[in-house]
Amino acid sequence: MPWAVAAIALLALVALVAGQRFARSRPASNPATAGAEQGAPVGMPSSGDAPPSDRSPTRAPDISKLTPEEQADRLFNRVMTLFEQGDTARVQFLAPMAVEAYQRLPKLTPDQRYHLGRVGAVTGVAPLASAQADSILQQRPTHLLGLILAAQGARMRGDEATARGYDRRLLAALASEEKAALPEYDQHANDITRAVESARARGN
């Protein structure tokens, strides 16, 4: 039918015009920024698969002018912020950089070991979390952050009995360790509060 042919021709013309406008609106590809567009952090080595291409690119924080300790802590804070936002793709992308930064430090403090262990915990690497917890507890068996990290590592392994044991040690050590007022306790007060509340809720 003539009207049907005319309608089809009109639709084809509209589609052609829309396609041309879309093509003109797309920016030209720039080889100099291609890596960033694909999610590769500028000035940083690759850490595995890039984040999904349908989201804004991940960039590692600019840490070139920081000390090695500051670099590690900056990367840790970025990983944890992304984790709290639920951005698991970028957590997995930046976590290896954070791990490497801490591993480059000559000697880790308990606070830095907790940071490293937390990176392992949020990325599902139980051995890393447990190893750092063990190192902290060897230095101070009642260290609250060490006990929290040890419980997390045990639960990641599916060992609830061991995890509850660390929960009980955490509650038993709480009063005396709060009096010790270690700097890292103040820095991670929210983590301690959440862990204590969870331990009490489990009936330990």
> For residue 40, is pLDDT > 50?
no
CB 43 within 8 A of CB 61: no
pLDDT category of residue 203 using cuts at 50, 70 and 90: confident
CB atoms within 10 A of CB 131: 17
Over residues 57-74, the pLDDT tens digits come to 456 556 678 899 999 999
pTM listed for this prediction = 0.70
pLDDT at 186: 95
Cite the DSSP H helix spans in 50-143. Answer: 68-84, 88-103, 110-122, 126-139
- Minimum mean pLDDT range among 52-56, 84-88, 147-151, 164-168: 52-56
CA angle 87, 186, 190 (to 5 degrees): 40
Over residues 4-34, the pLDDT tens digits come to 333 333 333 333 333 333 333 333 333 333 3
Instruction: Look over the chain and give the mean of its residue pLDDT values, rounded to a whole number.
Output: 78
Q: Using CA atoms, how far apart are residues 190 and 173, in angstroms rounded to an integer?
A: 17
In angstroms, what is the C-alpha Rg of the chain?
A: 25
pLDDT at 66: 87
Backbone angles phi, psi at 55, to 5 degrees: -125, 170
Over residues 136-189, the pLDDT tens digits come to 999 999 999 999 999 999 999 999 999 999 999 999 999 999 999 899 999 999
- Minimum mean pLDDT range among 19-33, 105-119, 125-139: 19-33
pLDDT at 12: 38
pLDDT at 62: 66
pLDDT at 1: 42
The whole-angstrom distance between residue 200's C-alpha and the CA centroid of its chain comes to 27
